[in-house]
Amino acid sequence: MKILAIETSCDETALSIVNFSSKKKFEVLSDSVLSQIEIHKEYGGVYPAVAKREHTNNIFPLLLASLKKAGMLEKRKNPLKNPVLLVKKLEKVLDRDKQNLENIVHLLCTYKKPKIDVVAVTYGPGLEIALWTGFNVARALSVIWNTVLIPTNHMEGHIYSSLINENKKGVFEILKPKFPLISLLISGGHTDLVLSKSEGKYNIIGTTLDDAVGEAYDKSARLMGISYPGGPEVSKLAESWNSKVKSNITLPRPMIHKDNFDFSFSGLKTAVLYLVKAEEKKGKLKKSFKQELAAEFEDSVSEVLTKKTKKAIEKYGAKSLIIGGGVSANNRLRKEFQTLSDNENIDLFLPSKKYTGDNALMIAVAGYFNFKNNTYKKSAKKVDGNLKLK
Ligand code: KG4
Ligand code: ZN
């Protein structure tokens, strides 16, 4: 079964075409991510209207390139007879995106229908203005190709991205976790602890009350003069700090002793702000100060995340642990969760570095399972920026 998946929830336009040969195995026919990071850098974060403009401009060229790479872009020999009805339908779906309306009509009239069985698309959570571009193009494709449309949850995608395993021969398989399963989802918009008692069932047992972990990384980085997204750079600074030297900096461990699974990271960022302000009074921030601060910041984050996750594992008798989302690229956290899962004697699933950030492969896989299990939302007409896992 061949799936085309589209992801436009934030600042990456991503498109993937995969072929599932069995319930567990699949082949990747094309997989591309067009990042807008360089463009958003000057705004210090993702600027929604610019994200939308970039998705709108990039999605069609990316679609054509992906179909070509997958060997699915074949010109029609004869012009399409009477596409009036289809064009009318397309006009309704893409009434706010004239550029892609024109593009999709061109696709319909110029190229043969590719052998795509299902179109999956992220419909939340994320920036609604950005989600709409991918969602409407996906809907339009499902109209002209007459395929099923699977609206997919971005966070479920991050869970599945930790279960993707690529062997040395380039064959992809989906690993099967044992249940109960705890997933810790850490990204720019989320810090969620999720309990699953069976495949495709989610119960959010804890979440952030304010900033997400990735957001705290990015905001603290900005205070240290590091441009967006600062998470990876803060992490590098922390790694370069000599941990044998006793640190003079102490940051809070927000909510670490609270008897629940919720998080709060805005206080951590404020504490960073005060320390930076005090240090700036002495002059330009020194590299050693930034390294020390970053190391303490990462200590705090990793202590809070591992302690709460450990508590959740023990309370629910979890047999597997998934770590997903952009922040799961962090080396320190990967190490800490490896140690935690060894100590707790449970299986750990970390995404390969290639799939920690936003991508469409994870949407293809999540879409596939929702299609197979018939758990997808039929005839979805809207995106949902605050979509929750259920
Ligand atoms: O999942 P993602 O790509 O986008 C969202 O859905 O939000 O996550 C992006 C977040 C950013 O905040 C970025 O700074 C953070 O992941 N991030 C990291 C690292 N790599 C990316 N944070 C800490 N350490 C890293 N190595
Ligand atoms: Zn994400």
Tens digit of each residue's pLDDT (9 = 90 or more) over 329-360:
999 999 999 999 999 999 999 999 999 999 99
- pLDDT digits over 222-243, tens only? 999 999 899 999 999 999 998 8
Supply the pLDDT for residue 43.
Answer: 87
Supply the pLDDT for residue 116.
Answer: 98
pLDDT category of residue 22 using cuts at 50, 70 and 90: confident
Picking from 225, 227, 236, the residue whose alpha carbon sits closest to that of residue 297 is 236
* Ligand 1 pocket residue status of 10, Cβ below 6 Å: yes
Cα of 326 vs centre of ligand 2, distance in Å, is 6
Mean pLDDT computed over 144-154: 97
Cα of 109 vs centre of ligand 1, distance in Å, is 40
Mean pLDDT computed over 263-271: 97
Tell which atom from ligand 1 comes closest to the C-alpha of 230: 14
- pLDDT digits over 45-76, tens only? 899 999 999 999 999 999 999 999 999 999 99
Cα of 235 vs centre of ligand 1, distance in Å, is 11
* pLDDT above 90 for 152: yes
* Ligand 1 pocket residue status of 218, Cβ below 6 Å: yes
* Ligand 1 pocket residue status of 235, Cβ below 6 Å: yes
Supply the pLDDT for residue 42.
Answer: 85
* Ligand 1 pocket residue status of 231, Cβ below 6 Å: yes
The sign of the torsion formed by the CA atoms of 338, 260, 196, 371 equals negative
- pLDDT digits over 160-190, tens only? 999 999 988 888 999 999 999 999 999 999 9
pTM of the prediction? 0.97
Q: 21-30, 128-137, 331-340: which range is least confident on average? A: 21-30
* Ligand 1 pocket residue status of 124, Cβ below 6 Å: no
Q: To which residue do tokens 């197979």 refer?
A: 372
* Per-position DSSP letters for 206-232, written without gaps between them: E-BSS--HHHHHHHHHHHTTPPSS-HH
Please tell me the distance from the alpha carbon of residue 324 to that of residue 187, in angstroms, as a whole number.
8
CA 135, 140, 142 angle in degrees (round to 5)? 95
* Ligand 1 pocket residue status of 189, Cβ below 6 Å: yes
Percent of the chain's residues with pLDDT above 90: 92
* pLDDT above 90 for 2: yes
Supply the pLDDT for residue 273.
Answer: 98
* pLDDT above 90 for 364: yes
* pLDDT above 90 for 108: yes
* pLDDT above 90 for 315: yes
DSSP bridge partners of 53: none
Spatial neighbors of 339 by CB under 8 A, at least 6 apart, are none
Q: Are the C-beta atoms of 67 and 6 separated by less than 8 Å? A: no
- E strands, 89-224, where? 118-124, 148-153, 164-166, 172-174, 181-186, 191-196, 203-206
* Ligand 1 pocket residue status of 330, Cβ below 6 Å: yes
Look at ligand 1, atom 7, and give the residue with the nearest C-alpha.
Answer: 188
CA distances for 354 relative to 294, 302, 328, 350, 359, angstroms: 24, 22, 11, 11, 9
Supply the pLDDT for residue 271.
Answer: 98
Please tell me the distance from the alpha carbon of residue 89 to that of residue 86, in angstroms, as a whole number.
5
CA distances for 99 relative to 65, 103, 123, angstroms: 18, 6, 21
Cα of 132 vs centre of ligand 1, distance in Å, is 22
Q: To which residue do tokens 């002059």 refer?
A: 283
Q: 85-99, 201-215, 242-256: which range is least confident on average? A: 242-256
> Which of 152, 215, 217 for a ligand 1 pocket mutation test, highest count of atoms within 8 Å of Cβ?
217
Quote the tokens at residue 377.
């939302």
